[in-house]
Amino acid sequence: MSSPSLAVSRRNRRTPYTERIEALGVQGYSIVNHTLLPKAFGRTVEEEYWHLRSSVQLWDVSCQRQVEVRGPDAARLVQMMTPRDLGSAVVGRCFYAPLIDDTAGLINDPVILKRADDWYWLSIADSDVLLWTKGLALGLGIDVAVTEPDVSPLAVQGPRAEDLVAAVFGDAVRNLAYFQFDCFDFLDRQLVVARSGYSKQGGFEIYLDDSRLGTELWDTLWTAGQGLDVAPGCPNLIERIEGGLLSYGNEMTRNNNPLEINLDRFCTLDGRIDYIGRSALEKISRNGPTQRIRGLLFDGGPCPPCGSPWPVYASGNPVGYVTSAIWSPRLERNVALGMVQKSVWATGQSVIVHSDDGVERTGLIQVPPI
Amino acid sequence: MSSPSLAVSRRNRRTPYTERIEALGVQGYSIVNHTLLPKAFGRTVEEEYWHLRSSVQLWDVSCQRQVEVRGPDAARLVQMMTPRDLGSAVVGRCFYAPLIDDTAGLINDPVILKRADDWYWLSIADSDVLLWTKGLALGLGIDVAVTEPDVSPLAVQGPRAEDLVAAVFGDAVRNLAYFQFDCFDFLDRQLVVARSGYSKQGGFEIYLDDSRLGTELWDTLWTAGQGLDVAPGCPNLIERIEGGLLSYGNEMTRNNNPLEINLDRFCTLDGRIDYIGRSALEKISRNGPTQRIRGLLFDGGPCPPCGSPWPVYASGNPVGYVTSAIWSPRLERNVALGMVQKSVWATGQSVIVHSDDGVERTGLIQVPPI
């Protein structure tokens, strides 16, 4: 069966890079934050995986919209939204931070950029954090401006990313530490460039803040990458599962808390800061989570796409479900992430995965990375 | 060029009806509220248009998620969220209501079902109204429970919809007035059935509140419809444009206010109720909106899909943009909705539409329905 198509409408927003993406033969999209995320360029996911691990790719991740929180009380509001202690956060750094509601349910898991003491960008996964933030600010009477600025990240990922970004923005980018950012000249603008991105191969994200320059930014990087085997790409499912990178909506929903997705290190539980959901999270922590995200390796030949949770069994009993899965050409097994109960969450536990093609597949639990 | 495909992941949620939709050969989807909305079944949009106008279709509109607001202060919170006066709202009725923020920008345009004095469902378009509502309630300290219940609407639309729904739920459904709902037996449950839906052909929406019964509900309607020329379908772009039905994300975004989309009759501007955005909306009203949504008819042969706003000109000057457009086989012209400035918003005004295939098309403004 051929893949279902995606309907065209303004509601599924195009990006500053979509024209170039189309010219390069994009064949599929996902939708994130009401925005097109290119997903296929005529090569298989396996071919893109090997290329990502050896060269450099440009990813249109404009769908990582920014929620800008700015004003005298910005720091206070942002701290209320996450159990991660941002008290010692310095300007010029990125912070991966779970956002939770009053039940400790996950609202999103953005990367937070601290641009100034009174100025934050929340670079978000797929939920309308803007509405959550605006609702809170309005209800609490907090003095901040909450907006979605014209900012469209372009990711440069892969082992040759540093050479490519340095060719365009200068060798100073080489000095950026992981999750550090700074501003660099591009035409008449200063663009935020961070060492970050949704792969384990290393790379950068360029926060273009003027849509009119999208084609020019793309072309400049494309031209500079011609000697570096540059190609268009996108977050690679094989690579992200092997690397244990989580996806909001897949590995976590509002029904999960941050401990279940192994973000214990970002959960302040000693009472030194206050935040929404604190008492709920402390209560969960006292008993400990009953399930956690784990990696899985399983057999039975290449599995179909995972469009809904697949049941996982041990000794005939249900013990969890797979949230993302795909065949790994490197490991020659299927790799997956899934939510499993405490009884089986240790590395090496044997499980059976029921993929929705009706096949029962023998597997092993492994703490990511796989 | 073939249509781009949609990537499969749990994040794009399947519905209680997806298995049946797949068995019927669905070929395309859109994504609304992180949920699959079937969009094509192997017939052209034109063929589906003629069928919708003559027979009956089943639409999987589970993506119309419900935001449930329940508790002693539910009525107060819901009224704060909309300029529509709900003071005399009675139980058992549906209310189309713009939701706005503090700048009078549109957050969503749900149909609100008043289930009891302390129990509302907001049947939403494509934005996370749940997060907006939860943020407001939490910030304001309002005593309500805000949840997304397991409710998946199935629409039955077309001139033969009443016969089909009556065959399953009994002749009492024939007594429902437009935008009235009641509970009707299905197996061991009582399902909300409303006379409503996103077409001008008439019909019903069934609010299934137990996902496990999705296949059974679909099959029951399908079987009952065999003598009525039933077919799977979806909101039809030709029919909705001709009928002047608006789509959040297309005809309106957060950058628009309710007057611009002609919802003046739902905007309380005399101060008798209070709501978020009241002062901003009153200020806009004093000067009057400077642009409004209008219908357009234009020539030049069938236009391409409208994936981004198309500029509209009059006498060489930019006067607005098209938000949705398609060829109408009945009118043998392109029909569209668009946001146009006051200088041209009267019926009969001449404009030029620049569709993104490079064609300049002569057109006329018309107040919907077209």
Is residue B356 located within the same domain as residue B278?
yes
Q: Provide, as residue numbers in chain A, all residues whose Cβ is less than 8 Å from the Cβ of B324.
A: 9-10
C-alpha B188/C-alpha B185 separation (Å) is: 7
Q: Provide, as residue numbers in chain B, all residues whose Cβ is less than 8 Å from the Cβ of A128.
A: 127-128, 131-132
Residue B10 has pLDDT above 50, yes or no: yes
Is residue A265 located within the same domain as residue A297?
no
A126–B131 C-beta distance less than 8 A: no
Mean pLDDT of A201-208: 98
For residue B179, give the 3-state DSSP assignment: coil
pLDDT in tens, A242-294: 999 999 999 999 999 999 999 999 999 999 999 999 999 999 999 999 999 99
B27–A6 C-beta distance less than 8 A: no
Is residue A140 located within the same domain as residue A261?
yes
pLDDT in tens, A131-186: 999 999 999 999 999 999 999 999 999 999 999 999 999 999 999 999 999 999 99
What does residue A159 show for φ and ψ, rounded to 5 degrees? Answer: -60, -20
**What's the confidence (pLDDT) of residue A2?**
61
**B270 inside domain:** yes
Nearest by CB to A139, from B8, B129, B140: name it.
B140
B137–A139 C-beta distance less than 8 A: yes
pTM of the model: 0.97
pLDDT in tens, B73-83: 999 999 999 99
Point out the domain boundary residue: B235, B263, B286.
Answer: B235
What does residue A356 show for φ and ψ, rounded to 5 degrees? Answer: -80, 10
Mean pLDDT of B135-139: 98
C-alpha A121/C-alpha A154 separation (Å) is: 16
**One-letter identity of residue A298:** F
Q: Provide, as residue numbers in chain A, all residues whose Cβ is less than 8 Å from the Cβ of B337.
A: none
What does R_g of chain B's alpha carbons equal in angstroms? Answer: 21
**A30 inside domain:** yes
What does residue B343 show for φ and ψ, rounded to 5 degrees? Answer: -60, -20
Alpha helices (H) along chain B = 18-23, 45-54, 74-80, 129-140, 161-169, 214-224, 237-243, 278-287
- Nearest-neighbour CA in chain A from B131: distance (Å): 5
Residue in this structure with the two tokens 């009884």, named with its chain if needed: A343
| Domain encompassing residue B102 | 66-147
C-alpha B114/C-alpha B96 separation (Å) is: 11
Q: Provide, as residue numbers in chain A, all residues whose Cβ is less than 8 Å from the Cβ of B307.
A: 8-10, 12, 14
Q: Provide, as residue numbers in chain B, all residues whose Cβ is less than 8 Å from the Cβ of A249.
A: 9-11, 34
**B358 inside domain:** yes
- Percentage above 70 pLDDT, chain A: 99
- Nearest-neighbour CA in chain B from A184: distance (Å): 30
Chain centroid, CA B155 distance in Å: 12
A131–B127 C-beta distance less than 8 A: yes
Is residue B143 located within the same domain as residue B70?
yes
Nearest by CB to A11, from B12, B136, B249: name it.
B249
Closest CA to A366 of A297, A319, A317, A289: A297
A135–B8 C-beta distance less than 8 A: no
Distances (CA, A) of B49 to A4, A166, B63, B326: 21, 54, 21, 12
Q: Provide, as residue numbers in chain B, all residues whose Cβ is less than 8 Å from the Cβ of A13.
A: 308
C-alpha B233/C-alpha B53 separation (Å) is: 12
What does residue A77 show for φ and ψ, rounded to 5 degrees? Answer: -65, -45
Q: Provide, as residue numbers in chain A, all residues whose Cβ is less than 8 Å from the Cβ of B37.
A: 7
Residue B182's CATH number: 3.30.1360.120
pLDDT: is B3 or A311 the higher one?
A311
Q: List, edge to edge, every strand of the sheet that includes B66-70.
A: B94-96, B111-116, B119-123, B66-70, B145-147
Q: Average pLDDT of chain A?
A: 97
A264-297 in b/e form (b: 16+ CB < 10 A) is eebbbeeeeeebbbbebbbebbeeebebbbbbbb
Is residue A223 located within the same domain as residue A267?
no
**What's the confidence (pLDDT) of residue B2?**
61
Residue A106's CATH number: 3.30.70.1400
Chain centroid, CA A155 distance in Å: 12
Task: Give residues with Cβ within 8 angstroms of A223, minimum separation 6.
Answer: none
Residue in this structure with the two tokens 């039933």, named with its chain if needed: B230
Give the E-state strand segments of A181-306 in sequence order. Answer: 181-186, 189-194, 203-208, 230-233, 291-298
pLDDT in tens, B148-157: 999 999 999 9
Is residue B138 located within the same domain as residue B254?
no
pLDDT in tens, A136-145: 999 999 999 9
Look at the alpha carbons of A159, A165, A170, A176 in this order and tell me if their dihedral is positive or negative.
negative
**What's the confidence (pLDDT) of residue A225?**
98
Residue A305 has pLDDT above 90, yes or no: yes
Q: How many domains does chain B have?
A: 3
Distances (CA, A) of B326 to A117, A304, B31, B48, B305: 49, 36, 20, 14, 7
Q: How many Cβ pairs closer than 8 A exist between chain A and B?
A: 186
Nearest by CB to A11, from B5, B128, B250: name it.
B250
- Nearest-neighbour CA in chain A from B31: distance (Å): 7
Q: Provide, as residue numbers in chain B, all residues whose Cβ is less than 8 Å from the Cβ of A9.
A: 30, 247, 249-250, 305-307, 324
Q: Average pLDDT of chain B?
A: 97
Residue A1 has pLDDT above 80, yes or no: no
**B214 inside domain:** yes
For residue A3, give the 3-state DSSP assignment: coil
**What's the confidence (pLDDT) of residue B4?**
87
Is residue A319 a contact partner of residue A312, using CB atoms and an 8 Å limit? yes
Is residue A134 located within the same domain as residue A194?
no
Is residue B200 located within the same domain as residue B248?
no
B29–A6 C-beta distance less than 8 A: yes
Is residue A137 located within the same domain as residue A275?
yes
Q: What is the ipTM of this complex?
A: 0.97
Q: Provide, as residue numbers in chain B, all residues whose Cβ is less than 8 Å from the Cβ of A141.
A: 139
Residue A349's CATH number: 2.40.30.110
Is residue B258 located within the same domain as residue B170?
no
The C-alpha torsion from B361 through B367 and B369 to B370, rounded to 10°, is: -30
B11–A27 C-beta distance less than 8 A: no
**B53 inside domain:** yes
Closest CA to B336 of B296, B369, B298, B367: B296
What does residue B129 show for φ and ψ, rounded to 5 degrees? Answer: -60, -25
Q: Label residue A40 by pLDDT band (50, 70, 90).
A: confident
Nearest by CB to B7, from A13, A28, A249: name it.
A28
Interface test with A, best of B11, B211, B322 (most A CBs within 10 A): B11
Point out the domain boundary residue: B192, B215, B235.
Answer: B235
C-alpha A76/C-alpha A69 separation (Å) is: 10
Closest CA to B241 of B249, B232, B233, B250: B250
Q: Tokens at residue A369, please?
A: 């990375």
For residue A365, count other CB atoms closer than 10 A to its CB: 22
Point out the domain boundary residue: B121, B147, B173.
Answer: B147
B132–A132 C-beta distance less than 8 A: yes
**B10 inside domain:** no
Distances (CA, A) of A28 to A44, B4, B39: 12, 4, 16
Is residue B223 located within the same domain as residue B111?
no
Residue A100 has pLDDT above 60, yes or no: yes
Residue A358 has pLDDT above 70, yes or no: yes
**What's the confidence (pLDDT) of residue B1?**
42
Q: Which stretch of DSSP H or E encloses residue A75? A: helix A74-80
- Widest Cα–Cα separation across chain A: 64
Nearest by CB to B127, from A8, A39, A128: name it.
A128
**A250 inside domain:** no
Is residue B167 located within the same domain as residue B45?
yes
Q: Tokens at residue A225, please?
A: 């990458």
Is residue A140 a contact partner of residue B141, using CB atoms and an 8 Å limit? no
Nearest by CB to B134, from A11, A101, A248: name it.
A101
pLDDT in tens, B287-336: 999 999 999 999 999 999 999 999 999 999 999 999 999 999 999 999 99
Is residue A74 a contact partner of residue A120, using CB atoms and an 8 Å limit? yes
**A93 inside domain:** yes
Q: Provide, as residue numbers in chain A, all residues whose Cβ is less than 8 Å from the Cβ of B44.
A: none
B9–A249 C-beta distance less than 8 A: yes
